[in-house]
């Protein structure tokens, strides 16, 4: 039974805690370390989303009294995605990390994270690093600095430094610690204000348990944000103006380098201001908040606000179909439908839908003018059934 386990530091990655344990115990064989920690020699370390936490807990629970789910929350990157995906799906991913490992496929489909540019090497803040040495006598990998998009330290205001240590070890079963890092002696270059704000926002997502907000609540949220940012033309969202604002705030180079480029049409930003059919990542949300929110707000405030909103019921995706945008079109479609009905009073609904024009009209009305169509059909029920 394990007799000593290192004290986990706030915001330390789980793999970093385990690497410190292995070093202190003087264990040289990766598989022996796995056996002691997990009771399972087949585990492959995953620096940012370490799984098999239940097995770990069975072996060290007596020394580190924490629920496995809390280990996920405090020492992996998963909580970054929580506010942006449905609660049930988040729970599923969390359970996955506790019981097994989260494979990339599950992660991709679960949080739609494939647009993120995941780091290949660990990043550190040289100032934090010096403080760790002074106060603890050792260093560790900080979770915040490995999050895609985070380029500066919110505490010291400086740019992060690439440690040169790869996130994927040459040794398949090794937990990688901080031993080989040599920090630069030159003074930090101050980071831009907006990048610091972004880092702070990411930290706010990691630091506190935040609620999940449904996709349709986010849809309502972005409709309101468009209004607040003066990006509505009447009832219609001005996507061009939104794109322009986001692009001029972040600059094209930055957006491209983070996988957030807006050159394609339609792009992720346009999709964000329509009805949400899939989740967006924290980086997309934060990039938009910082560029469009009229005043500075904390991530928790914004998420709490979104959580209180009703789910979007107006089908925003209508805007994809130009003809559906005007009331005129609606009137035309209704008229055309009525004409078919009056032209041949014996015609059944089935027969109408078998003609190309009837089928087109029916599916349009069904989608965009559903209430009206159902009312008409109800009135004519005797004719149709």
Q: Can residue 155 be called a binding residue for Zn ion (CB under 5 A)?
A: yes
Q: Can residue 188 be called a binding residue for Zn ion (CB under 5 A)?
A: no
Residue 245 CB, nearest approach to Zn ion (Å): 30
Residue 227 CB, nearest approach to Zn ion (Å): 38
Residue 203 CB, nearest approach to Zn ion (Å): 11
Q: Can residue 144 be called a binding residue for Zn ion (CB under 5 A)?
A: no
Do 128 and 10 meet the contact criterion of CB atoms below 8 Å apart? no
| Options 151-159, 219-227, 270-278, 366-374: segment touching Zn ion (CB under 5 A) | 151-159
- Of residues 125 and 365, the one with the C-beta less far from Zn ion: 125
Residue 290 CB, nearest approach to Zn ion (Å): 20
Residue 155 CB, nearest approach to Zn ion (Å): 5
Instruction: Retrieve residue 45's tokens.
Output: 């370390």
- Footprint (CB under 5 A) of Zn ion, residues 100-129: 125, 127-128
Q: Which of 23, 31, 89, 156 binds Zn ion (CB under 5 A)?
A: 156
DSSP 8-class letter at 190 = B
- Of residues 50 and 132, the one with the C-beta less far from Zn ion: 132
Instruction: Give CA angle at 270 (269, 274), nearest 5°.
Output: 115
Nearest to 110 by CA among 89, 137, 129: 89
Nearest to 178 by CA among 19, 32, 10, 11: 19
Per DSSP, the three-state class of 163 is: strand
Residue 128 CB, nearest approach to Zn ion (Å): 3
- Of residues 9 and 59, the one with the C-beta less far from Zn ion: 9
CA–CA separation, 252 and 114 (whole Å)? 20
Q: Can residue 260 be called a binding residue for Zn ion (CB under 5 A)?
A: no
Contact residues for Zn ion (CB under 5 A)? 125, 127-128, 153, 155-156
């Amino acid at each position: 039974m394990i007799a000593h386990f290192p004290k986990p530091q706030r915001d330390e990655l789980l793999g970093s805690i385990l690497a410190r344990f292995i070093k202190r115990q003087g264990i040289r064989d990766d598989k022996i370390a796995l056996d002691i920690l997990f009771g399972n020699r087949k585990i492959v370390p995953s620096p940012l989303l370490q799984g098999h936490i239940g097995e770990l807990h069975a072996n060290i629970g007596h020394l580190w009294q924490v629920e496995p789910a809390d280990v996920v929350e405090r020492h992996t990157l998963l909580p970054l995605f929580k506010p942006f995906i449905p609660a049930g799906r988040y729970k599923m991913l969390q359970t996955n990390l506790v019981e097994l490992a989260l494979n990339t496929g599950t992660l991709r489909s679960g949080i739609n994270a494939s647009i993120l540019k995941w780091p290949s090497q660990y990043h550190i803040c040289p100032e934090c690093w010096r403080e760790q040495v002074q106060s603890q006598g050792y260093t560790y990998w900080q979770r915040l600095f490995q999050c895609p998009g985070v380029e500066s330290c919110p505490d010291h205001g400086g740019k992060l430094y690439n440690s040169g240590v790869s996130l994927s070890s040459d040794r398949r079963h090794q937990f990688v610690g901080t031993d080989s890092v040599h920090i630069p002696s030159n003074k930090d270059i101050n980071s831009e204000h907006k990048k610091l704000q972004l880092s702070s926002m990411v930290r706010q997502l990691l630091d506190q348990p935040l609620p999940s907000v449904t996709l349709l609540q986010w849809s309502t949220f972005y409709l309101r944000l468009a209004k607040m940012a003066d990006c509505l033309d009447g009832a219609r969202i001005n996507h061009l103006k939104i794109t322009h604002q986001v692009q001029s705030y972040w600059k094209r180079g930055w957006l491209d380098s983070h996988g957030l480029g807006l050159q394609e049409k339609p792009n992720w930003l346009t999709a964000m201001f329509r009805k949400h059919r899939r989740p967006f990542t924290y980086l997309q949300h934060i990039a938009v908040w910082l560029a469009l929110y009229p005043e500075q707000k904390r991530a928790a405030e914004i998420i709490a606000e979104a959580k209180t909103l009703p789910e979007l019921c107006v089908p925003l995706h209508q805007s994809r179909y130009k003809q559906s945008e005007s009331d005129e079109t609606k009137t035309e479609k209704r008229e055309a439908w009525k004409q078919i009905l009056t032209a041949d009073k014996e015609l059944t609904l089935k027969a109408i839908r078998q003609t190309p024009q009837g089928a087109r009209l029916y599916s349009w009305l069904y989608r965009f003018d559903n209430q009206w169509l159902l009312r008409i059909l109800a009135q004519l029920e005797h004719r149709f059934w």
